[in-house]
Amino acid sequence: MIDTTAPGAGRWWTRRRDRLRIAMVAPPWYPLPPRGYGGVEAVVADLVDLMVLRGHHVTLIASGDHATAAHEVHRAYDEPPSERLGTPQPEVVQAAAAAAIVAELDVDLVHDHSLAGPLLARGRVVPTLVTVHSRPTGDYAEYYRWLDRTVGLVSVSDAQRTLLPEANWVGRVHNAIDVPSFPFREAKDDYVLWIGRFVEMKAPHLAIDAARAAGRRIVLAGKCSEPREKAFFEAEVAPRLGPDVEYVGEAGADLKRELFAGARCLVFPLQWEEPFGMVMAESMACGTPVVALRRGAVPEVVEHGVSGLVVDDLTAIPAAIHAAEGLDPAACRKVVADRFDLPVMADGYEQVYRETLAGGRQDDLSRRAARRALRRSPDRHSRALEAVDLRA
């Protein structure tokens, strides 16, 4: 959560003459902000706080406890169903609950970060924007095609949009981090870092191989709780552990920052088209360059030769690890401060919000009449929530 009382907090505040009323829908899996893993949830939590600080009214629909500045909070789940991540039922429950709640709200727009929620946007009086946090290929591509013009899609990178150029993209807003909350260190320790989920597409095993080939000790930190993550760890990571490879478990906010700040570089040999890659921005904010393969949004996030090195082949990573040690930590930090700090993301979303409303908003009289029609039955909200109470 953004500390609104901290020195410099006023940098987020922009006085607005017209206050927007926003319904923000989060995925159901983790609290906001997340205590450990949860990149999407971290973005949503920051965005809620940013919009409130800029004078807008935000209603949050999420799961579990929250530590945001939202004016109103509605929950589909009292406890986030984190252990069921990857199963469809929590997404469906969240979507049904969010639709029922939104129908009773007086808002200007809905900003949905969930997967199933946009299915119920058709016929809604106010516009729905959806930030696409995943890679829009395969079944995801078919899903976003079927949504058609029902919702406006916001990408988190230009690279992400190239995977499905025909979709109804209405804007691109890079993800962002609270740069001042990440400690800057110019003097580095004797290790390189990999951090992420223990899955093949994030390639921790390849990071180990590259670090070992470069003669550098590597520290691994990340999420390893789902069955497929555990299976991958046992098959590919555990056999590679040794004196030069240390696994420290899943890193919370404090440990993550400590690891980023001390590392000589972040090794990022991803094996998929990464839509953004939050860990790259977090690493650079600490003055730690990124060594990564040219996949997905990597060339958008890493400024080659300034905040890291982008290479085309795995065989080039060991040499790049050595070369990255000559990059200026302050330059790494500046790239993130200029392009991926929270005020930049807030500006981007405000622009998308206002363009969406300017392009498709009904006049106030017809909008209010439509809302009254939706709320004719005073107990509609409670009946709808009872209908989706599938948590037992």
Chain-centroid distance, C-alpha 58: 18
Query: Do 230 and 120 share a structural domain?
Result: no
Strand 109-112 and strand 128-131: the pairing is parallel
Query: Do 259 and 161 share a structural domain?
Result: no
Does residue 3 lie within any of the structural domains? no
Instruction: Note whether 134 and 313 are within 8 A (CB).
Output: no
* DSSP H/E element including 130: strand 128-131
Instruction: Note whether 166 and 160 are within 8 A (CB).
Output: no
Q: How far apart are CA 292 and CA 66, in angstroms?
A: 34
Q: Comparing C-alpha atoms, which of 41, 26, 281, 274 is closest to residue 136? A: 274
**CATH number of the domain within which 333 lies:** 3.40.50.2000
Q: Is the pLDDT of residue 12 over 90?
A: no
Domain hosting residue 151, numbered range: 9-176+341-387
pLDDT band for 58, please (50, 70, 90 cuts).
very high
Looking at the structure of the chain, the number of domains it has is: 2
Side by side, the strands of the sheet bearing 57-63 are 72-77, 57-63, 21-25, 109-112, 128-131, 152-155, 169-172
10 Å CB burial of residue 218 (0-12, 13-18, 19+) is buried
Instruction: Note whether 169 and 153 are within 8 A (CB).
Output: yes
Which is more confidently placed, 377 or 244? Answer: 244
Neighbouring-strand partners of residue 247: 220
Q: What percent of the chain has pLDDT over 90?
A: 74
Q: How far apart are CA 268 and CA 272, in angstroms?
A: 11
Task: Give the model's pLDDT for residue 363.
Answer: 40
Q: Comparing C-alpha atoms, which of 197, 203, 228, 234 is closest to residue 317? A: 203
Query: Do 262 and 138 share a structural domain?
Result: no
Per-residue pLDDT reduced to its tens digit, 142-189: 999 988 788 999 999 999 999 999 999 999 999 999 999 999 999 999
Query: Do 244 and 129 share a structural domain?
Result: no
Does residue 392 lie within any of the structural domains? no
Instruction: Note whether 343 and 324 are within 8 A (CB).
Output: no
Task: Give the model's pLDDT for residue 373.
Answer: 46
Would you give the end-to-end CA distance of the chain in angstroms? Answer: 31
Query: Do 40 and 158 share a structural domain?
Result: yes
Query: Do 227 and 127 share a structural domain?
Result: no
Does residue 2 lie within any of the structural domains? no
Does residue 335 lie within any of the structural domains? yes
Per-residue pLDDT reduced to its tens digit, 298-308: 999 999 999 99
Tally of CA atoms within 13 A in the half-sphere of 118 that contains its CB: 25
Query: Do 274 and 235 share a structural domain?
Result: yes
Per-residue pLDDT reduced to its tens digit, 306-336: 999 999 999 999 999 999 999 999 999 999 9
Strand 109-112 and strand 21-25: the pairing is parallel
For residue 382, the SS3 value is helix
pLDDT band for 360, please (50, 70, 90 cuts).
low
Does residue 1 lie within any of the structural domains? no
* Residue that terminates a domain, selected from 304, 324, 339: 339
pLDDT band for 384, please (50, 70, 90 cuts).
very low
Query: What pTM was computed for the model?
Result: 0.84
Per-residue pLDDT reduced to its tens digit, 23-56: 999 999 888 887 766 688 989 999 999 999 999 9
Q: How far apart are CA 77 and CA 62, in angstroms?
A: 8
Q: How far apart are CA 324 and CA 304, in angstroms?
A: 10
Query: Do 155 and 196 share a structural domain?
Result: no
Q: Is the pLDDT of residue 381 over 60?
A: no
Does residue 351 lie within any of the structural domains? yes
pLDDT band for 226, please (50, 70, 90 cuts).
confident
Does residue 167 lie within any of the structural domains? yes
Per-residue pLDDT reduced to its tens digit, 102-154: 999 999 999 999 999 999 998 888 999 999 999 999 999 999 998 878 899 99
The DSSP call for residue 234 is I
Q: Any residues with CB less than 8 A from the CB of 255 and at least 6 apart, and which?
A: 221, 248
Query: Do 130 and 36 share a structural domain?
Result: yes
Task: Give the model's pLDDT for residue 8.
Answer: 41
Mean pLDDT of the chain: 87
Instruction: Note whether 5 and 18 are within 8 A (CB).
Output: no
Instruction: Note whether 263 and 189 are within 8 A (CB).
Output: yes
For residue 70, the SS3 value is coil
Query: Do 107 and 198 share a structural domain?
Result: no
Query: Do 306 and 212 share a structural domain?
Result: yes
Per-residue pLDDT reduced to its tens digit, 232-250: 999 999 999 999 999 999 9
Neighbouring-strand partners of residue 196: 222
Query: Do 280 and 154 share a structural domain?
Result: no
* DSSP H/E element including 368: helix 364-374
Does residue 4 lie within any of the structural domains? no
Residue 227's φ and ψ, nearest 5 degrees, are -55, -40
